[in-house]
Amino acid sequence: MSVQTVTSVPGPNARRVLEGDARLISPSYTRGYPLVAKRGEGMYVFDADGNRFLDFTAGIAVCSTGHCHPRVVAAIQKQAAELIHMSGTDFYYEQMVEVAEKISATAPMPGPHRIFYGNSGAEAIEAGLKLARYHSRRPYFIGFYNGFHGRTLGALSMTSSKQTQRARFAPLLPGFFHISYPNPYRPPHGAKDVTAACLEELDRLFHTTTPADEVAAILLEPVQGEGGYIVPPKAFVQELRRVCDREGILLIADEVQSGAGRTGKMWAIEHHGVEPDIVCSAKGIASGMPLGVCFARAGVMDWKPGAHASTFGGNPVCLAAASVTLDLLKESLIQNAAEVGGHLLERLRGWPANHSHVGEVRGLGLMIGIEVVADQKTRTPDPALRDRIVDAAFARGLLILGCGASALRLMPPLICTREQADTALGLLDEAVRASA
Ligand code: PLP
């Protein structure tokens, strides 16, 4: 199957949906191009007019097993016919335990573990933040500029990806502080040693506004997602762990986007050889069904009954999807993400030499960022060009999204084959050439 368009896009059916959407739907969403999705199958999305697109977004890193994987669909259908909801806050059901066992077996830190279920990434983050405060009895949190952790007020207090996400929502929660993310391509203040520069910022916080012994947790995206698909130096993450150990601070890994096999390991933090205390996951963990997961060392998740819960969190149908997703990841998809991601990165390595507006290609597994710049020397971001490339890719039947100041991100389902990766690169190459 290849990319195929049968009408101009958007076609007549899509236009009807777009008209209703413009009239009725919250204008806060940030759609870039008019894809009106009707059906998904594997690596492909079909729009309302039957046009077929190669999906390198996976519904924002969610459809890890591809669209409508037959085993996921079968598990959802079976579970929906048996028990749709009972609420794990007040009752018990087997799926909560079954998925917890599977997640615990993947954990990047030694057990025993405890698992909390919510419905989204933001809820997983809220659980992680609340748990850290509860356990440590400390008030403060430290996160990173350009980090994205969700839109609920607690998560938003840590989110600092884009000004528009926070504008007019103040006052946010007090006690949330930020330092620069160790971005090797654009080091803070032009520093030579990005690891040292960011650790210095942390130290400055400790000695000025935020006493270390009052910090509950540091919240880290092991690969920064919305902020630009930035891979931090391993040395930084390892040193951060040492600082946390020294100061009694919990390290929370926000694996909402980077986790569930996307980087070629189950959890991206494993690439850094670091064990977190708390992990927050969502997106790819249930193949498109809404599920947030926060898990921790059992000694850390020590809150008392009533401290935290969610009516829908860990819904049986979502957990049925998660259970099969975890099986598929383990059977082959994590491995495939590593292999096909490596192939893509290898092929993309030459792009800065061949495209004057590509500044850098970076990533792990199938979490790949391509930095679009006005000038390779100055590394000046060119968001307008980046957006033109995204649109040009769409016109050619390839779905991608932007991230960060001026990057493109490739985050296909983890079932992506080498051939599909090559097709995508061919289309993207055309799109970049047509847009420059
Ligand atoms: N954390 C990270 C790293 C994310 O990328 C996102 C969403 O993009 C979230 C948290 C919030 O997830 P959700 O949109 O499911 O609330």
Tell me what pLDDT residue 3 has.
58
DSSP string, 111-126: S-EEEEEESSHHHHHH
Is 232 a pocket residue for ligand 1 (Cβ < 6 Å)?
no
Tell me whether residue 379 is exposed, middle or buried, using C-beta atoms within 10 angstroms of its C-beta: 0 to 12, 13 to 18, 19 or more: middle
Residue identifier of the C-alpha nearest atom 7 of ligand 1: 150
- Which atom of ligand 1 is nearest to 147's Cα? 3
In the chain, where the domains are located? 12-69+332-435, 71-330
Tell me what pLDDT residue 5 has.
73
Residue identifier of the C-alpha nearest atom 12 of ligand 1: 121
Tell me what pLDDT residue 2 has.
47
Cα–Cα nearest to 225, from 252, 257, 264: 257
Residue 98: other Cβ atoms inside 10 A: 15
Contact at 8 Å (CB) between 424 and 57? Answer: no
Rounded to the nearest angstrom, the distance between the alpha carbon of 417 and the centre of ligand 1 is 26
- What CA dihedral angle connects 192, 194, 199 and 204, to 10 degrees? 60
Digitized pLDDT (tens) for each residue of the chain, 436 residues in all: 445 778 888 999 999 999 999 999 999 999 999 999 999 999 999 999 999 999 999 999 999 999 999 999 999 999 999 999 999 999 999 999 999 999 999 999 999 999 999 999 999 999 999 999 999 999 999 999 999 999 999 999 999 999 999 999 999 999 999 999 999 999 999 999 999 999 999 999 999 999 999 999 999 999 999 999 999 999 999 999 999 999 999 999 999 999 999 999 999 999 999 999 999 999 999 999 999 999 999 999 999 999 999 999 999 999 999 999 999 999 999 999 999 999 999 999 999 999 999 999 999 999 999 999 999 999 999 999 999 999 999 999 999 999 999 999 999 999 999 999 999 999 999 999 999 8
Q: Which of 62, 181, 252, 256 to mutate to test the pocket of ligand 1 (most atoms within 8 A of CB)?
A: 256
- Enumerate helices (H) and strands (E) in the chain, giving the number of each: 14, 16
CATH class entry, domain 12-69+332-435: alpha beta
Tell me what pLDDT residue 8 has.
86
Is 226 a pocket residue for ligand 1 (Cβ < 6 Å)?
yes
Is 241 a pocket residue for ligand 1 (Cβ < 6 Å)?
no
Is 225 a pocket residue for ligand 1 (Cβ < 6 Å)?
yes
| Alpha-carbon dihedral sign for residues 26, 30, 34, 39 | negative
CATH class entry, domain 71-330: alpha beta
Is 149 a pocket residue for ligand 1 (Cβ < 6 Å)?
yes
Tokens at residue 263, please?
A: 């980087």
Is 221 a pocket residue for ligand 1 (Cβ < 6 Å)?
yes
Say whether pTM exceeds 0.95: yes
Q: How many CA atoms lie less than 13 Å away from 358 in the CB half-sphere? A: 22
**Residue type for 109, please?**
M
Is 254 a pocket residue for ligand 1 (Cβ < 6 Å)?
yes
Rounded to the nearest angstrom, the distance between the alpha carbon of 13 and the centre of ligand 1 is 31
